[in-house]
Structure 1
Amino acid sequence: MSDKIRVGLIYGGKSGEHEVSLQTALAVIKAFDLTKYEVTPFYITKEGQWRSGAALEGPAESVQALQLNRSTDEEISAGTALQPIFGSLAASATTDAARPVGSNAPFDVVLPLLHGTFGEDGTIQGLLEMANVAYVGAGVLASSVGMDKVMMKRVFAQDGLPQCVFRHFTRTQWEKDNAFFLMEVEVSIGYPCFVKPANLGSSVGVSKAVNREELIDAVNEAFRYDRKVIVEEFVHARELEVAVLGNDEPQASVVGEIVSSGDFYDYKAKYIDGKSSMIIPADIPAETAEQLRELAIRAFLAIDGSGLSRVDFFLRKEDGAVFINEINTMPGFTPFSMYPLLWQESGKPYRELLDDLIQLAIKRHSEKQRLQYTFDLE
């Protein structure tokens, strides 16, 4: 029996952030110590098809290699994904004891490197919960709340976290009375403002509007990606980020700053033009840094986070006021992404961070096995 920890690596996905997921997966695979881990890849195409490959013998050399050739790797329909991927895991899953590393289950832990819809929103997490398998990252609730910006902001408001002014509406509401929502945005928020799909990340579908015509165009663009849209006030601010690691007793990293190459930190500025920069640690007063670290942990606990999250903030330039922007429960994880760079500056290198996330997932799963899911009346 092998002493290696067996990891199922899921990436790609039916999402606007498909390419981001592939880049993350490529970096993670290269970082795995294959003398310590046995890694099996599972690729989800943009159309939602599942492809499985053999356990890795070495790191993948390109994104193309990660897409698993149709002729040599098994293609699985999404509707029958559970049994082929987890084998006998669902049938053999128990709720009274944790499966030890090296047991007969196909995997000891699953690492879902999926960003955006159908991956970061609680859907894949629900599948993994049903299979009773350990997995890295936030659970179903935290993933769902963290992905839906409207619900996230409501939870943050309940916890008293400082936020920018925002409004939201569904496509049905907009089509029924867009004049009302235009007026509401103009009265309560004004211009400029930002328009976003409620459920997406990596700034996909995000637009800045400076007048009514641009606002209408921005709303229509956002509705391409979600049935619910959120509009937020513009704040002339610095963009600061904090990485959080842990389960019930999370830790916060040093604070980093994003200096965007564009008018705002959109998809192009994040992933394409290569001109945006990160300043780690951010050049801010020590008391401000400590405030941001405390708020990041509060946000993580507010949504019942686990494993990892990156919490983004605005630091208003005119008066130094702090506003929480959002929490990202599966942030970019390449060696050049903000999340691992923040931990590297905090004294935790990339490979060690990956080890910690695997152990946090196994520990959380083990603790859940202590719960009783049945009730005997006798």
Structure 2
Amino acid sequence: MGQDKLTVGLVYGGKSGEHEVSLSTAFAVMNAFDFDKYEIIPFYITKQGMWRIGGKLAVPFTDLSELKLENGEGTQTALNAVFSRLYGSEEAVVDIMFPLLHGTFGEDGTIQGLFEMADIPYVGAGVLASAAGMDKGIMKKLFSQAGLPQCKYCYFSRSEWERNSYELMQHMEDDLGYPCFVKPANLGSSVGISKARDAKELRDAIDKALRFDHKIIVEEFVDAREVEVSVLGNDEPMASVPGEIISSGEYYDYSAKYTDGKSEMLIPAPVEPDTAYQLRELAITAFKAIGGSGITRADFFIRRSDHAILINEVNTMPGFTPYSMYPLLWRETGVSYRELLDRMIELGIERHNHKQALVYENQD
């Protein structure tokens, strides 16, 4: 194929607390690519936010430590490669960027904005969907507008807490009750989440969450099964079969997700066909509610008392190793990991081409 190969810039690492998770994802993705179709240029972002760029890869990596590109070129060279189109370069260094960054600075719209400014196609959700999908409070408001059922919650900022903690405590105790869950609004992967069983624990949990973010979500406790659905597409998204998480802990926290290895995934989820259909429809509604494109994983509760379906959240850059829920759900639905990578790249290019066709000035 030679000249017909697409050059994909794989961006991984990053400043968030999920740096190591990103490395594992990048290693898995690099090894799954069809190297007859693609050449890969690795872009590693250190924990300090420095960029490193490596040479073109035409074969998979074998060693995870190589992903840190200790001998790679520095930030200036890396960003020159990203912005090559804006310098009037005859040939773009990269055809499409593939961000594999979780959490802050990766799935919150910031790096997506960088790619928009660089006029370069990229994989996954756009700026708005990424930002809305990262801020749980904004996300819940969009879900409410779309008529999606969700659990009761309270959303407030650090300054509101400092000014009105007494009134907020009363509201939470009356409306949400105990136990309840306290979360930083803008962190992924369950970092900083606490369960509060009384007023002291609630105040302590809010103080803890405020170390991670200046906006806080407090949610009522729901005794429920946790079910997830993968969504793929742009204007006409498709939903996968649902899968169920059987958590090792009281809730699906960071260690249950990444470290203790005891949480179990049931794929497909053991639910009635009608429930599976509803979950898939609601996942697409949620995807559209945040203005999604590319990929999203929608996470639901099925309340044990009455089997009501409640949306919990969406994740615009879900875990993406071959053993993560997002690709496993697609595998069960009939789309392999390698096909999924192909489709995600096609969707990124499609969205970019649609934007290129728009008129950005008044031509009257």
TM-score by length of 1: 0.93
Where do 4+ consecutive residues of structure 1 move more than 3 Å?
80-83
Percent identity of paired positions between Structure 1 and Structure 2: 60
Query: Partners in 1 of 2:265 and 2:254 — Cα distance?
Result: 15
Asked if 1 retains the 8 angstrom alpha-carbon contact of 2:96 and 2:349, the reply is: yes
Q: 1:341 — aligned with what? A: 328
Alignment of 1:149-160 (within 5 A): 149-160=136-147
CA-CA distance at 1:203 after TM superposition? 0.6
**SS of residue paired to 2:240:** strand
Q: 2:208 — aligned with what? A: 221
Q: 1:37 — aligned with what? A: 38
Please tell me the residue identity of whatever aligns with 2:170. M
2:80 is aligned, of 77, 84, 105, to 84
Asked if 1 retains the 8 angstrom alpha-carbon contact of 2:81 and 2:94, the reply is: no
CA-CA distance at 1:60 after TM superposition? 2.3
1:126 is aligned, of 95, 113, 119, to 113
Alignment of 1:16-27 (within 5 A): 16-27=17-28
**SS of residue paired to 1:35:** coil
CA-CA distance at 1:89 after TM superposition? 1.6
1:231 is aligned, of 207, 218, 222, to 218
TM-score by length of 2: 0.97
Q: 1:74 — aligned with what? A: 73
Aligned-residue CA RMSD (Å):
1.4
Query: Partners in 2 of 1:273 and 1:42 — Cα distance?
Result: 29
Q: 1:97 — aligned with what? A: none
Give deviations 1:326-357, integer Å, cap 9, x for gaps: 01001001000000000000011100111111
**SS of residue paired to 1:2:** helix
Asked if 2 retains the 8 angstrom alpha-carbon contact of 1:109 and 1:362, the reply is: yes
CA-CA distance at 1:29 after TM superposition? 0.5
Q: 1:28 — aligned with what? A: 29
CA-CA distance at 1:90 after TM superposition? 2.0
Query: Partners in 2 of 1:50 and 1:83 — Cα distance?
Result: 8
Q: Rate the CA distance shift 1:163–1:235 in 2: closer, same or farther, 3 A.
A: same
Matched, 1:248 2:244: no
2:171 is aligned, of 184, 191, 207, to 184
Q: 2:133 — aligned with what? A: 146
1:280 is aligned, of 252, 258, 267, to 267
Give deviations 1:151-194, integer Å, cap 9, x for gaps: 00000100100010000111112122322222221111011111
Structure 1's unaligned 5+ residue stretches are 94-102
CA-CA distance at 1:322 after TM superposition? 0.6
Query: Partners in 2 of 1:52 and 1:236 — Cα distance?
Result: 47
Deviates more, 1:255-264 or 1:211-220: 211-220
Please tell me the residue identity of whatever aligns with 1:43. Y
1:165 is aligned, of 152, 159, 182, to 152
Asked if 1 retains the 8 angstrom alpha-carbon contact of 2:51 and 2:78, the reply is: no
Matched, 1:50 2:46: no
